[in-house]
Amino acid sequence: MDSDPIDRFPLGAAVTVADLEGDAHPHLARLRAHEPVSWLPALGGWLVTAREPALRVMRDAATFTVDDPRFSTARLLGPSMLSLDGRAHTRHREPFARPFRPARTRERFTAFVQDEVDRLVTGLAPAGKAELRGDLAGPLAVAVVAEALGLQGADATTIRSWYGAFVDALSAITAGQEPSARADEAYQRLRAAVQEAAGAEPLSPGGARSLLAEAAHQDEGLAPDEVVANAAVLMFGGIDTTEGMIANAVLHLLGHPGQLELVRSDPGLLDAAIEESLRLEPSASVVDRYATTDVDLAGAGIRKSDLVRVSITGANRDPAAFPDPDRYDVRRDNSGEHLSFAHGPHFCFGAHLARLETRTALQALLARLPGLRLEPGPVPEARGLVFRKPETLDVRWNVRPAGGTLRPGM
């Protein structure tokens, strides 16, 4: 590490955890412009906010590894695909990644996602108002993960309590605090449910096994605790980040009426609108690595074992790659070059499924809830140190009484 990091990186020294939890973008912009790789005492490590060094860190697992006992998910869950590199990473990842390749994702999940979205939107439509994060985005993400993992024996409230405990614990670790006992209790309950699902046979002759049952019977020979740890990782990737992705996409569209009108006029822009939302506010905002050797990164002298945290949020607004980066523009020609699903060996293999869920949800909301708009008042903002999304997302739309005309939601 530089001998005088606080003196060399005064902007980083001034940034607090609260700055990064709230409206982080002005702080990240200053760091990116003047200290693109900066030492942050508040995080106990380096923060990378520019795109090129971020790509270098995520691509080079030999120099910047996740395989360190300090890694947050390893401390919380034990070894998993998220906290291993090299052959061990491949052994943990492949049994779970195979079912999420694009063609299999479409074949296995398209009808299920459509049915869940239809059910949820049908239930919401008569009211004329809803809190979409809690009433749509969260329930959809939970239902899809339960279906994929074969956790039908656990109800949605129970599953959400598990992953909520994990998210709180992970955020505490990232902020330098100790996780509560609630996370361990949730993990033990998840373990029992996963072990049951991993041993379950298909519901019908010739039917598909659950993802957990497939993983437990693959040649890689994952031990039961390894299957459980990776199931918990999938809950992070499949629930919290997808819930945030849907909520952020709705917030961006409804918060920019001109862009919403472009999408309504040309539904072919919907995918681009989702990618631009992912760029502007990734629901998973940071990834952690640890230096395996002394290395220079964009002028910063990083020492072996230093924490190197990549701000996906910062890299996604690098003006060197995205002109006028704070603007939400559904016609941006390179929005798909964002890093919101990470990069390199740890690229999120659930990206196709997350996009399917978000696209299906937005299509239904725009088609079936006329006049969909944000609740009047202060515009919600995404918040969070690790997982960023609005705390609530209250919306209204017009409803038609039986035999009557459309009226605003009350």
Predicted local distance difference test score (pLDDT) of residue 43: 94
Q: CATH number for the domain including 340?
A: 1.10.630.10
Query: For residue 263, is pLDDT > 50?
Result: yes
Kindly report the pTM of this predicted structure.
0.91
User: According to the per-residue pLDDT averaged within each range, which of 136-150, 221-235, 396-410 is highest?
Assistant: 136-150
Distances (CA, A) of 71 to 46, 120, 307: 14, 37, 9
Name the phi and psi angles at 209, rounded to 5: -75, 160
Predicted local distance difference test score (pLDDT) of residue 205: 46
Burial of 255 (0-12, 13-18, 19+ CB in 10 A): middle
Question: Any idea which of 208-217, 361-370, 372-381 has the lowest mean pLDDT?
Answer: 208-217
Predicted local distance difference test score (pLDDT) of residue 204: 44
Which tens digit of pLDDT belongs to each residue from 298-352? 999 999 999 999 999 999 999 999 999 999 999 999 999 999 999 999 999 999 9
Positive or negative: CA dihedral 217, 218, 222, 228: negative
Check residue 185 and report its DSSP letter: H
Burial of 349 (0-12, 13-18, 19+ CB in 10 A): buried
Q: In total, how many domains does the chain have?
A: 1
Stated as kind and residue range, the H or E segment containing 113 is: helix 102-124
What SS3 class is residue 348?
A: coil
Predicted local distance difference test score (pLDDT) of residue 236: 73
Query: For residue 171, is pLDDT > 60?
Result: yes
**Does residue 168 contact residue 162 with C-beta atoms inside 8 Å?**
no
Query: For residue 129, is pLDDT > 50?
Result: yes
Q: Could you tell me which of 113, 61, 63 has the C-alpha nearest to residue 89?
A: 61
Predicted local distance difference test score (pLDDT) of residue 174: 77
Query: For residue 201, is pLDDT > 60?
Result: no
More confident call, 221 vs 9: 9
Say how far apart CA 246 and CA 269 lie, in whole Å.
Answer: 16
Q: Which domain holds residue 284?
A: 5-408
Predicted local distance difference test score (pLDDT) of residue 140: 96
241-254 and 270-280 helices, crossing angle to 10°? 110
